[in-house]
């Protein structure tokens, strides 16, 4: 609530600048300038042909298909966008990206009417309280809207408040915590095609962990999508 009010005040007081390059936005430009919009590194991956995101998960988990909207790089527009989305209360960036990618996936055919439920990778409740929102939520909600699926954020639950431990790498990151994610209701996902959504896929460890948990539901197919992937 307070976060929302502060957001409103902030958006009135702050000059409208591009989240990608800090240039002043012209009238009609939203969130990012036309140059950055044209420069956004779209992957062109969809849920049709096999792509490098699928290959991240080969031999690790049984998923139907994976895809990402953008390429992530350490010093680029995508990093700026996701940084603002995650740490600067700019939730509308997720809406913007979700509308864009949702439209791409919808126009693409293959996934249309294939997905029943869209689930964001959850935050622990303490982290959610602190940040005020799950940074994946608005992106996932817009995908759900365009793909005619149900957005569900209370079935997959994170049980511990793990810190970001980038130095530890794929194995150390969550191996020592059993059941880091659980299903609050096994039957709610029965016979469903579930699209699991996250912000950035790096090693794929988080997605792998969550997808394994989703697969515990009876006869569930798991798809994976993210805003960005580290190429």
Q: Is 93 in the site for Zn ion (CB under 5 A)?
A: no
Segment lying near Zn ion (by CB under 5 A), choices 21-29, 89-97, 149-157, 166-174: 21-29
Distance CA 224, CA 54 (A): 9
Q: Give the DSSP H or E segment for 121.
A: none
Residues 29-48 that bind Zn ion (CB under 5 A): 33, 36
Maximum distance among all Cα pairs of the chain, rounded to whole angstroms: 51
Q: Which of 4, 8, 16, 21 binds Zn ion (CB under 5 A)?
A: 21
Tell me how far, at minimum, the Cβ of 33 lies from Zn ion, in Å.
Answer: 4
| C-beta of 57 vs 100, nearer to Zn ion | 100
| C-beta of 18 vs 66, nearer to Zn ion | 18
What are 190's two structure tokens? Answer: 């029965």
Q: Is 20 in the site for Zn ion (CB under 5 A)?
A: yes
Segment lying near Zn ion (by CB under 5 A), choices 26-34, 88-96, 123-131, 147-155: 26-34
What are 46's two structure tokens? Answer: 């969809």
Instruction: Kindly give the pairing relationship between strand 117-120 and strand 150-151.
Output: parallel
Distance CA 85, CA 191 (A): 33
The DSSP 8-state label assigned to residue 188 in this structure reads G
Q: Is 9 in the site for Zn ion (CB under 5 A)?
A: no
Q: Among candidates 205, 120, 202, 132, which has minimal Cα distance to 162?
A: 205
Q: Which of 1, 5, 11, 18 binds Zn ion (CB under 5 A)?
A: 18
Which residues here bind Zn ion, judged by CB under 5 A? 18, 20-21, 23, 33, 36
């Amino acid at each position: 609530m307070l976060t929302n009010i502060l957001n409103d005040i902030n958006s009135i007081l702050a000059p409208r600048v591009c989240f990608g390059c800090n240039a002043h936005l012209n009238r009609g430009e939203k969130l990012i300038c036309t140059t950055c919009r044209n420069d956004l590194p779209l992957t062109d991956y969809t849920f049709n042909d096999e792509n490098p995101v699928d290959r991240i998960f080969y031999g690790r988990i049984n998923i139907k298909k994976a895809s990402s909207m953008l390429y992530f790089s350490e010093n680029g527009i995508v990093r700026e966008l996701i940084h603002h989305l995650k740490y600067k209360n700019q939730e509308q960036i997720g809406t913007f990206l979700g509308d864009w990618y949702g439209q791409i996936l919808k126009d693409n055919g293959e996934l249309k009417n294939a997905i029943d439920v869209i689930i964001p990778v959850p935050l622990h409740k303490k982290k959610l309280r602190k940040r005020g929102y799950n940074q994946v939520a608005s992106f996932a909600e817009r995908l759900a809207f365009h793909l005619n699926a149900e957005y569900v954020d209370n079935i997959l639950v994170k049980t511990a408040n793990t810190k970001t431990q980038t130095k530890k790498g794929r194995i150390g990151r969550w191996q020592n915590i059993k059941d880091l994610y659980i299903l609050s209701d096994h039957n709610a996902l029965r016979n469903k095609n579930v699209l699991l959504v996250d912000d950035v896929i790096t090693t794929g460890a988080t997605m792998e962990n969550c997808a394994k948990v989703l697969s515990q539901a009876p006869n569930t197919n798991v798809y994976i999508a993210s805003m960005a992937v580290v190429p």
